[in-house]
């Protein structure tokens, strides 16, 4: 029979583990939730007396204020956490590999493997281990192999896959009202019991009809094609059924933009390329590779448009970039389109003023430094200025680029902005956020006299 879980551990206090397990704590007051991380500074921030949390997510602070110290705890003591828990979420990072086999494409599973090995080494009682990171097909299998090969007598591990569907910026809402929760397990007695134990946790707030339980390999391929399903033995009907539950499959996700970003999409697609190649499906690999290339093209085309429109040169000109996060309502900058645009402007020797409501200054310098490895940071700092407001960023600029769809950019007094800029003043709305007609009436010029289809985003 399924165990009744009373102690949950989450390994990895990041964008996935943090919000997910904080919401579990809120919705399940009878469960003690501990979130551990190796990074002391991150844990300190989660524990900070004034709730200066390490990640920004609307509604998160409120959840943490309600639960922290009650049934939600943050710690760096990973071993103690493992020993005490009955169910362990593994939500460590799985970035795209930077070197070695599959570099640039394959997900780096090193962190998942290390966390798994640590569970095996430390556990003295049976555990349900839930793989939460977006990782390639069959990772759960590797986790099982590691755990089984290293377990002590009387210590049994059940491995579940429970992929995350929350989007950054709306994580809390997505967690409160998920379109569906997917849980994959082995179709054995123990596997099904473990699955039921996790389903019972979600059932505290998610209607049972939306909690879908499937065979382990099925949803690892949720975003892939039927060819991949065939090659991996997944059931395409289960995959299609699960995908159909996402309310975003429809108009919510067809907004044109300067390009997509975020830690997941690029990584998942590159990983799909790698997976397709390993499965000897070159046409499928080429298809997904093209999606990433299209996104790069989209960003290149945008910076070229800016240069072309500003009379073919931006050297010595000042450009205001509004928004640095990869999308609105997050402070996360991973794979943000803004980074590529600013690097392009820098290499044209323009001056760039940046304003973002959430991203902290050090993060911007880190990202710009990494984007131009050949340029010393002090030189970048001579060209780039970080500003405290949109108005400050736009002052004396020749052009404004909207790189992130922050709502506050919609509400800017654009006439005032216009009055402080060099003339002719240009605006390039990479998110089709502001009313182009209104801007034109104020006097702005830009690309909006061209058909908006030139900005269509591929997804």
d(CA 109, CA 99): 13
- Is residue 88 at the binding interface for ligand ADP, with CB under 6 A as the rule? no
Q: Which residue is nearest to ligand ADP (CB)?
A: 14
Helix and strand element counts for the chain (H, E): 19, 14
DSSP 371-413: H-TTS-HHHHHHHEEE-SSHHHHHTT-SEEEE-S--HHHHTS-
Which listed residue (260, 288, 406, 428) binds ligand UDX by CB under 6 A? 260
Angle at which helices 337-347 and 282-309 cross, to 10°: 50
Q: How far is the CB of 36 from ligand ADP (least distance, A)?
A: 6
Q: Which residues are annotated as a binding site for NAD(+)?
A: 12-17, 37, 42, 92-96, 133-134, 168, 264-267, 334
d(CA 51, CA 67): 12
- Confirm whether 264 is a catalytic residue: yes
Question: Which of ligand ADP, ligand UDX, none binds 39 (CB below 5-8 Å, type-dependent)?
Answer: ligand ADP
- Is residue 327 at the binding interface for ligand UDX, with CB under 6 A as the rule? yes
Closer residue to ligand UDX (CB): 326 or 414: 326
d(CA 300, CA 65): 43
Which listed residue (9, 26, 42, 400) binds ligand ADP by CB under 6 A? 42
Count of residues that bind ligand UDX according to CB under 6 A: 17
Which listed residue (57, 168, 277, 329) binds ligand UDX by CB under 6 A? 168
Closer residue to ligand ADP (CB): 68 or 445: 68
Report the SS3 class of residue 262: coil
Closer residue to ligand UDX (CB): 85 or 222: 222
215 within 8 A of 182, measured Cβ to Cβ: no
What token pair was written down for 52? Answer: 């200066």
63 within 8 A of 20, measured Cβ to Cβ: no
Q: How far is the CB of 3 from ligand UDX (least distance, A)?
A: 27
Which listed residue (12, 19, 262, 323) binds ligand UDX by CB under 6 A? 262
Torsion from C-alpha of 134, 24, 240, 453, nearest 10 degrees: -70
Which listed residue (9, 264, 321, 339) binds ligand UDX by CB under 6 A? 264
Question: Which of ligand UDX, ligand ADP, none binds 32 (CB below 5-8 Å, type-dependent)?
Answer: none
- Is residue 326 at the binding interface for ligand UDX, with CB under 6 A as the rule? yes
From residue 106, give the alpha-carbon distance in Å to each of 3, 167, 223, 260, 307.
Answer: 36, 22, 16, 19, 35
Question: Residue 402: CA atoms inside 13 Å, Cβ hemisphere, count?
Answer: 24
Question: Which of ligand UDX, ligand ADP, none binds 172 (CB below 5-8 Å, type-dependent)?
Answer: none
What token pair was written down for 184? Answer: 């994959």
Given the residues 155, 264, 394, 453, select the one marked as catalytic. Answer: 264
Environment class of residue 251 by beta-carbon count within 10 Å: exposed (0-12), middle (13-18) or buried (19+)?
exposed
179 within 8 A of 247, measured Cβ to Cβ: yes
Count of residues that bind ligand ADP according to CB under 6 A: 22
- Is residue 136 at the binding interface for ligand ADP, with CB under 6 A as the rule? no
- Is residue 139 at the binding interface for ligand UDX, with CB under 6 A as the rule? no
Closer residue to ligand ADP (CB): 111 or 351: 111
Angle at 158 between CA 265 and CA 222, to 5 degrees: 25
Residues that bind ligand UDX (CB under 6 A): 164-168, 253-255, 257, 260-262, 264-265, 326-327, 457
Active site residue ranges: 264
């Amino acid at each position: 029979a399924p165990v009744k879980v009373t102690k949950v551990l989450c390994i990895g206090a990041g964008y996935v583990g943090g919000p997910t397990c904080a919401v579990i704590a809120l919705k399940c007051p009878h469960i003690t939730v501990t979130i551990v991380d190796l990074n002391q500074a991150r844990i300190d921030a989660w524990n900070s007396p004034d709730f200066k949390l390490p990640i920004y997510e609307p509604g998160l602070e409120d959840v943490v204020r309600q639960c922290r110290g009650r049934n939600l705890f943050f710690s760096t003591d990973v071993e103690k956490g493992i020993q005490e828990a009955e169910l362990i979420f593994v939500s460590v990072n799985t970035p795209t590999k930077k070197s070695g086999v599959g570099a640039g494409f394959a997900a780096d599973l090193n962190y998942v493997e290390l966390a798994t090995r640590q569970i095996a080494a430390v556990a003295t009682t049976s555990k349900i281990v839930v793989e939460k990171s977006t990782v390639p097909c069959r990772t759960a299998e590797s986790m099982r192999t590691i755990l089984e090969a290293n377990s002590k007598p009387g210590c049994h591990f059940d491995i579940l896959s429970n992929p995350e569907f929350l989007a950054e910026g709306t994580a809390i809402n997505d967690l409160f009202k998920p379109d569906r929760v997917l849980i994959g397990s082995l179709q054995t007695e123990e596997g099904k019991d473990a699955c039921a134990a996790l389903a019972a946790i979600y059932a505290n707030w998610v209607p049972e009809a939306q909690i879908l339980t499937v065979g382990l390999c099925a949803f690892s391929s949720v975003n892939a094609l039927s060819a991949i399903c065939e090659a991996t033995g997944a059931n395409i009907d289960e995959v299609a059924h699960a995908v159909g539950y996402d309310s975003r499959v429809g108009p919510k996700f067809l907004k044109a933009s300067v390009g997509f970003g975020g830690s997941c999409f690029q990584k998942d697609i590159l990983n799909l390329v790698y997976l397709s190649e390993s499965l000897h499906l070159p046409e499928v690999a080429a298809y997904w590779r093209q999606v990433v290339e299209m996104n790069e093209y989209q960003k290149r085309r945008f910076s070229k448009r800016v240069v072309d429109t500003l009379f073919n040169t931006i050297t010595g000109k000042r450009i205001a970039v509004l928004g640095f996060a990869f999308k609105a309502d997050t402070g996360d900058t991973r794979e943000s389109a803004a980074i590529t645009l600013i690097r392009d402007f820098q290499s044209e020797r323009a001056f760039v003023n940046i304003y973002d409501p959430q991203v902290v200054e050090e993060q911007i310098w880190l990202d710009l430094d990494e984007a131009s490895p050949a340029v010393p940071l002090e030189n970048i700092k001579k060209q780039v200025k970080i500003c405290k407001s949109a108005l400050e960023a736009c002052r004396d600029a020749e052009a404004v680029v909207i790189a992130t769809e922050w709502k506050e950019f919609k509400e800017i007094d654009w006439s005032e902005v216009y009055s402080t800029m060099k003339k002719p003043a240009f605006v390039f709305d990479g998110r089709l956020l502001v009313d182009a007609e209104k801007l034109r009436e104020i006097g702005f010029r830009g690309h909006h006299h061209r058909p908006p289809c030139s900005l269509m985003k591929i997804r």
